[in-house]
Amino acid sequence: MKIIAQATTEEEILVPISEGADSAEIRDTIVMQAQCCVVHLCGCNCSC
Amino acid sequence: MVKPSRFNFWARLSADRHLLFNGVTGALYELNDQERQAVLRLLQGSQQLEGVAHDDLVRLLYRGGFLISDQTDEVAQLVQQFEHEARCHRILDITVSPTYECNFRCRYCYVQFQDGRMDADIEQRVVRFIGRQFERYQVTNLTWFGGEPLLCLETVLRVSSELRSAAARMNVHLIGLIATNGYLLGLKTAQELCDAGVTYFHVTVDGSQVCHDRLRVLADGRPSWTRIMENIRTVLENVASAELTLRMNVSEETVASAYQALDEIPLIHRGRVQLNVMPIIWGNELPKPGLFHSANQVIKYALTQGYQYYDMQISPGKRCFCNATKLHNYQIGPDGGLYKCSPSGKPEVHVGQLNNEGIAEYNEKHALWHENADPKGQCLHCPYLCFCFGGCRLDQLRGVSQRSCRARYQDMEGLILSRYVALQGKPAYTSD
């Protein structure tokens, strides 16, 4: 069996942005997630 | 004790190679026939596995989330994650439409092209509104949308620059994007946009020149393909910070031509281009299942040709179907109206207005979007809940959410195979 991708942990997925949670490491993670989420609008009628 | 996850999906890689994907964790394992048989028996509760160490396999599958504790309620966890995502201050997504006017008349477009452009007063309201949110967020996605936003280039540049400065002062990471038809995206414009922090360009090219020019025409009917492709190549060649999403809307008649369009972008730039291929929905008519498969085949091919991976359909961590379900995310119209979605033909999405101070004043529809919005009913039994979280909120409000919710998952195997190619397959082109 070959592991192509290991499970993404909750810590990686849901970085809580609460008071004081502004380390560079967390920021990088969020930015990465934000960049994965960019450009979701399309201007056509495909419901995306 | 353990039990199988409800969100395990299989895909066939070849005659004797298989993929196992978990929609909650994103884990992806490659198995041969013997391993697949063992996993299937184990997931069905068997303790007798030939040639495979039972405990090792359980450990491996547990780690990937394919097996979970029998005390775990996956659906309750997903609902909880949805609710958290809707209200947390993780990423702020604001879309600004400085106009609904457009220089194109695409055959499938639903926008009503109202006249009117954002004036200086509304620009300042937008700056104040978004700037005020910076206190609560560390990352903001600012997307320019339309109509065609480049018809209001000066507005885009002024607002982006002001917000970029404010974000820098407050140590906020601002990501600027623009969804444009690309016709006005010349080199000077692209450079100005990047200087203002708008570095992600979303441009639609609907397949080959023949197909594109049939669908995406200028308001006076002239074709647009040649100039758009020229703009794209020029921007990629000359603006190092530019990233591109190549959007292709495909139908059964045009999907085959998508391959030709992919060849138009030089290999050396494809690492900065992600491909988003989506079937066109004409009115209430849903695409046939085969079209989703064909679209996924194009994406898989693109990955082997050096293009970036782009998947918003089975990405772990998405936590919602659409940003409209997030409490603080809006589209802002040219008149300072606050919307939950592109407003053309959708009166339900107008939820408020920015006042003179750039403060949101909500109407009675705002609450409808966020009250009792968590997945329920049939969705709680759906195998795709981990990806769609109840689907389009507008469809829910209209009572038509069952109409199309599963359409995009009809070719789950294709989606998994693309993910596999992106993670495992070495592209034909590499920078070294």
Express each pLDDT in B373-383 by its tens digit.
888 888 899 99
Residues of B whose CB is below 8 A from A11 = none
Residue B150 above 70 pLDDT? yes
Supply the mean pLDDT for chain B.
89
Residue-wise pLDDT for B293-313, tens only, equals 999 999 989 999 999 887 777
- Tell me the β-bridge partners of B202: B179, B245
Residue B144 above 90 pLDDT? yes
Separation CA B384–CA B289 (nearest Å): 16
Eight-class DSSP state of B152: G
B144: tokens are: 């320019």
In the three-class reduction of DSSP (H, G, I as helix; E, B as strand; rest coil), residue B222 is classed as coil
Contact B90 A14 (CB under 8 A): yes
pTM here is: 0.88
Residue B269's alpha-carbon distances to B29, B242, B305, B429, in angstroms, are 31, 10, 11, 10
- Tell which B residues from 372 to 411 touch A, by Cβ distance under 8 Å: 392, 395, 404
Residue B177's alpha-carbon distances to A28, B27, B145, B174, in angstroms, are 18, 30, 9, 10
- Of the residues B10, B20, B28, the best mutation for testing chain A's interface (the one with the most A CB atoms within 10 Å of its CB) is B28
Backbone dihedral region for residue B385 (phi beyond 0: left; psi -120 to 50: alpha; all else: beta): alpha
Q: Are B125 and B163 spatial neighbours (Cβ–Cβ below 8 Å)?
A: no
Q: Are B181 and B204 spatial neighbours (Cβ–Cβ below 8 Å)?
A: yes
Separation CA B247–CA B181 (nearest Å): 10
Q: What mean pLDDT comes out for the span B402-423?
A: 81
pLDDT at B104 (0 to 100): 94
Residues of B whose CB is below 8 A from A25 = none
- Give the burial class of B358: count Cβ atoms within 10 A of its Cβ; 0-12 exposed, 13-18 middle, 19 or more buried: middle
- Tell which A residues from 15 to 44 touch B, by Cβ distance under 8 Å: 15-17, 22, 26-27, 30-31, 33-44
Q: Residue B138: which of A1, A27, A44 has the nearest Cβ?
A: A27
At residue B298, φ and ψ (nearest 5 deg) are -65, -45
B130: tokens are: 């978004």
How many Cβ atoms sit within 10 Å of the Cβ of residue B172?
Answer: 22
**A5 touches B at CB < 8 Å:** yes
A43: tokens are: 């201007």
B228: tokens are: 């758009």
Residue B80 above 80 pLDDT? yes
**Best mean pLDDT range from A15-24, A29-38, B132-141, B256-265:** B256-265
Percentage of chain B exceeding pLDDT 90: 57
Contact A8 B317 (CB under 8 A): yes
DSSP B405-421: TTGGGTTHHHHHHHHHH
- Give the burial class of B318: count Cβ atoms within 10 A of its Cβ; 0-12 exposed, 13-18 middle, 19 or more buried: buried
Contact B322 A40 (CB under 8 A): yes
Distance from CA of B403 to the nearest CA of A (A): 12
Contact A34 B141 (CB under 8 A): yes
**A48 touches B at CB < 8 Å:** yes
Distance from CA of A11 to the nearest CA of B (A): 10
The residue written with tokens 């942990």 in the block is A9
B104: tokens are: 């194109």
B419: amino acid identity, one letter: R
Kindly give the residue spans of alpha helices, DSSP state H, lying in B248-306: 258-262, 289-304
Residue B332 above 80 pLDDT? yes
Residue-wise pLDDT for B336-389, tens only, equals 999 998 888 889 999 999 999 999 999 999 999 988 888 888 889 999 999 888
Closest CA to B129 of B411, B426, B331, B418: B331
pLDDT at B180 (0 to 100): 93
Contact B200 A38 (CB under 8 A): yes
Contact B280 A46 (CB under 8 A): yes
Strands B139-144 and B337-339: unpaired
Eight-class DSSP state of B172: -
Eight-class DSSP state of B288: P
- Of the residues A18, A32, A36, A38, the best mutation for testing chain B's interface (the one with the most B CB atoms within 10 Å of its CB) is A38
B215: amino acid identity, one letter: L
Residue-wise pLDDT for B187-222, tens only, equals 999 999 999 999 999 999 999 999 999 989 999 999
Q: Which residue of B has its CA nearest to A9?
A: B25
Residue B422: pLDDT band with limits 50, 70, 90: confident
Q: Which residue has the higher pLDDT, B110 or B49?
A: B110
Separation CA B389–CA B392 (nearest Å): 9
Residues of A whose CB is below 8 A from B339 = none
Run of H or E including B173: strand B173-180
**B68 touches A at CB < 8 Å:** no
Closest CA to B243 of B322, B308, B184, B291: B308
Number of helices (H) and strands (E) in chain B: give both, helices first: 14, 15
Which residues, 6+ apart, have CB-to-CB distance to B135 below 8 Å? B170
Q: Which residue has the higher pLDDT, B257 or B319?
A: B257
**B424 touches A at CB < 8 Å:** yes
Whether the link from the prior residue into B345 is cis, omega within 30° of 0, is no
Separation CA B338–CA B366 (nearest Å): 10
pLDDT at B92 (0 to 100): 86
Contact B281 A4 (CB under 8 A): no
Closest CA to B240 of B297, B300, B302, B190: B190
Separation CA B188–CA B248 (nearest Å): 25
